[in-house]
């Protein structure tokens, strides 16, 4: 099960719209690439910033809180922070 974390104010209105991943920052080439992994592939997803760039939200997805360096910066839509 994925745990979602909001950094900053939590929206009060919730419609249960799931998180969508679109792009990610490659840790090798530092290029923005298309994201094939789905939100449920990660144990934790943090919302860093809503409407970060061109209507994308900035998120950080990772599996182990002790090894956050293995995480991925993701652009997509947080929506209501629900994971399918």
How far is the CA of 72 from the CAs of 15, 27, 29, 60, in angstroms?
A: 26, 8, 13, 6
Q: Does 48 reside within a domain?
A: yes
> How far is the C-alpha of 65 from the C-alpha of 49, rounded, in Å?
19
pTM of the full predicted structure? 0.86
Q: Which domain holds residue 38?
A: 3-77
Q: Does 84 reside within a domain?
A: no
Give the total number of structural domains in the chain: 1
pLDDT score of 13: 66
The pLDDT-based confidence of 8 (bands split at 50, 70, 90) is confident
pLDDT score of 14: 67
Compute the average pLDDT of residues 38-44.
Answer: 96
Q: Does 42 reside within a domain?
A: yes
The pLDDT-based confidence of 9 (bands split at 50, 70, 90) is confident
Q: Does 82 reside within a domain?
A: no
Helix (H, G, I), strand (E, B), or coil: what is residue 9? coil
């Amino acid at each position: 099960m994925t745990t979602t974390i909001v950094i900053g104010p939590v929206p009060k209105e919730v419609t249960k719209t799931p998180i969508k991943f679109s792009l990610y920052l490659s840790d090798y080439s530092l290029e923005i690439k298309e994201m094939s992994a789905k939100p449920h592939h990660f144990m934790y997803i943090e919302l860093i910033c809503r409407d970060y760039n061109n209507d994308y939200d900035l998120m950080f997805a990772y599996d182990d809180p002790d090894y956050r360096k293995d995480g991925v910066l993701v652009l997509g839509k947080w929506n209501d922070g629900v994971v399918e």
